[in-house]
Amino acid sequence: MLDTTDHALSNLTTRWLAAFGTALAADDRAGLQALFRADAHWRDLVAFTWEVSTTSGGERIADALAHHARGKSPASFVLDGARASPRVVQRAGAEVIEAFFRFETATTRSLGIFRLDPKTGADDLPRAWTLFTALDEIKGHEETTGSRRPHGAAYSRDFTGPNWWDRRQAAMAYAERDPEVLVVGGGQAGLAIAARLGQLQIDTLVVDREARVGDNWRHRYHALTLHNQVQVNHLPYMPFPPNFPTYIPKDKLASWFEAYAEAMEINFWTGANFLGASRDERTGRWVARIQRNGTLRTLHPRHVVMATGASDLPKRPHIPGLDAYQGPVIHASQYRNADGLAGRQVMVLGTGTSAHDIAQDLVSNGASVTMVQRGPTLVVNVEPSAQIPYALYSEGRPLEECDLIAASMPLAWAEKSHRLMAQQAREMDRELLADLRHAGFRVNDTDEKGWQFMYLTRGGGYYFNVGCSELITQGKIPVVQFTDIEAFITAGAQLRDGRALPCDLIVLATGYQGQEQVVRELFGETVTTRVGRVWGIDEEKQELNNMFTRTRQDGLWFIAGSFAQCRIYSKYLALQIKAVETGLVTPD
């Protein structure tokens, strides 16, 4: 039986880590392979590979580690005493020994997590099921935080020179210089990467077409709040205050974005429309065109980071016969509130999150709503079912520790975890799902990986129930299947059973186009082809396509996703850009 005392686990993991460091230093591939299960996974965030990557299989891991370690002199492998001690935990349904560690190379400091299978191993040393390595900092280029914070003397002691405010205004004007990095989009993705780059002393400018910082949330529909809980959604460096509500309202969040940009000294141009950019291969810089306040500015950054989100351009699919309808048709992205719609009849085409929230807002404000369903939809109660994937963040662990554990899970293990969580959620929501089926709503019963994988693969297709499902089951929001519509007519739709479905407004909750279309419009076909798909899981690489890592187009990067994704991966994206800027990584 495994000895799970603290001393025994510390001794066991220390011996495994020492054997790992010795084999790596000696380029001993057989020794490395002996430390891993045949079905092991190694996920590296920039520590060895300078990119976001996953390698699977004990033999392949040994080969890859030996290859990428060559010339880097990895050493000083020690358990990380600042974090949780080695312990036995459940991950993806398996019992493992989990341990945090640190190590260094000639130019970097990194950290990681390994998980040992207590049931395997030779010479009484268990084999690893997963290995996670992540770059923490580049030596000589550490973040300017904590003991390395700016002193402030430059502007606090010179009574004749510019003060802090003067310097901030000059920095944001870019009158006589170009930013090294241009970030397009000022939501959570843009703010997170700009904050990270700022702490690495990389001159960064964020441009956003909205009039105020936070307007990308402020201008969404009136009743919107975040659907996951506050402890998961912090931005880098500045956690939300402890009095913030569990589910943050969109206007409160928008105001926080403004405060965050100011506090983190992020150079931010509002009302700035990014018109596109072309690459000057001779100088290694972009020629970026920005329309602001009626003036065209041309900037020449070395890097462009697209932070416009996984959902940017509205998707308005061709719907046969819809042109026959003579009333107003808007996309869900254009919906703000139910003003003027009390007593009116509205058709919401779609059954994802936006469709449900808009329908609920309309009904709550006196409108009559019919939802039109085009395909089965996954429905999960916002509490507790939808919060199951975030249980780690409610255990009282430090945020950074939670983030490391979340990032350390390779795709294969993440899939196992989410299958288990999806099964648990279906059981919790059994009664609600049965009631929805009885009301004529088609529930997605075939997707076994849960809502998070639907988000990663297709960007939607699910709904966190905050009350709209009950309106459907109670008959207050009838659901019509799209296949039951015979034709659209001047004043609405004609159903196949002979009924007319009149409406004064149609809302198309039909989702958003992929990032490739954004790239095509802003950078042209050549760059689009070179980069390839953005977002969605590459099953062979076991990572998101072109997210948070180098792309085939030098100087073009992408960041998007949830608050947690942006907070976690902004660090590794910023470190990659810093590595390029310092010459540690040569652009391909």
Output the pTM of the full model: 0.94
Which DSSP letter does residue 553 get? S
My answer on whether 366 and 414 are in the same domain is yes
My answer on whether 270 and 381 are in the same domain is no
Q: Which residue ranges of the chain lie beneath pLDDT 50?
A: none
My answer on whether 234 and 352 are in the same domain is no
Q: Where are the alpha helices (DSSP H) in 145-295?
A: 153-156, 164-173, 188-199, 215-218, 250-263
**Which of 485, 508, 531 is the endpoint of a domain?**
508
Residue 356 belongs to a domain: yes
Residue 101 belongs to a domain: yes
CA dihedral (154, 156, 158, 160) positive or negative: positive
Instruction: Print the domain residue range for 31.
Output: 6-138
**Which of 138, 157, 186 is the endpoint of a domain?**
138
Residue 164 belongs to a domain: no
My answer on whether 365 and 483 are in the same domain is yes
H-helix or E-strand spanning residue 54: strand 52-56
**What are the DSSP calls for 524-561, one per residue?**
-HHHHHHH---SSEETTTTEETT-SS--SSTTEEE--S
Token pair recorded at residue 384: 């507790």
Which DSSP letter does residue 49 get? S
- Give the domain CATH number at 426: 3.50.50.60
Our CA dihedral for 410, 415, 417, 422, rounded to 10 degrees, sits at 160
- Phi-psi sector, 321: left (phi>0), alpha (psi -120 to 50), beta: left
My answer on whether 230 and 297 are in the same domain is yes
H-helix or E-strand spanning residue 573: helix 563-581
Q: Return the axis-axis angle of helices 6-25 and 58-69, rounded to nearest 10°.
A: 60
Residue 214 belongs to a domain: yes
My answer on whether 548 and 415 are in the same domain is no
Total number of domains in the chain: 3
pLDDT attached to residue 458: 81
Separation between Cα atoms, residue 411 and residue 537, nearest integer Å: 9
pLDDT for 265-285, tens place per residue? 999 999 999 999 999 999 999
List, in sequence order, every residue forming a beta bridge with 90; answer none if it has no partner. Answer: 95
pLDDT attached to residue 384: 92
Q: What is residue 570's three-state secondary structure? A: helix
From residue 135, alpha-carbon distances to 33, 108, 398, 411 in Å are 23, 7, 19, 19
Strand bridging mode 492-495 / 485-489: antiparallel
Q: Which of 219, 308, 274 is nearest to 513 (CA)?
A: 308
Residue 155 belongs to a domain: no
Q: What is residue 382's three-state secondary structure? A: coil
Separation between Cα atoms, residue 515 and residue 581, nearest integer Å: 26
pLDDT for 17-29, tens place per residue? 999 999 999 999 9
My answer on whether 61 and 112 are in the same domain is yes
My answer on whether 105 and 121 are in the same domain is yes
Q: Is 100 exposed, middle or buried (0-12, 13-18, 19+ CB in 10 A)?
A: buried
My answer on whether 396 and 447 are in the same domain is yes
**Which of 138, 169, 203 is the endpoint of a domain?**
138
Amino acid at 186: G
Separation between Cα atoms, residue 99 and residue 80, nearest integer Å: 8
My answer on whether 484 and 549 are in the same domain is no
My answer on whether 501 and 366 are in the same domain is yes
pLDDT for 511-534, tens place per residue? 888 889 999 999 999 999 999 999
Residue 395 belongs to a domain: yes
**Residue 183 near residue 206, CB atoms below 8 Å:** yes
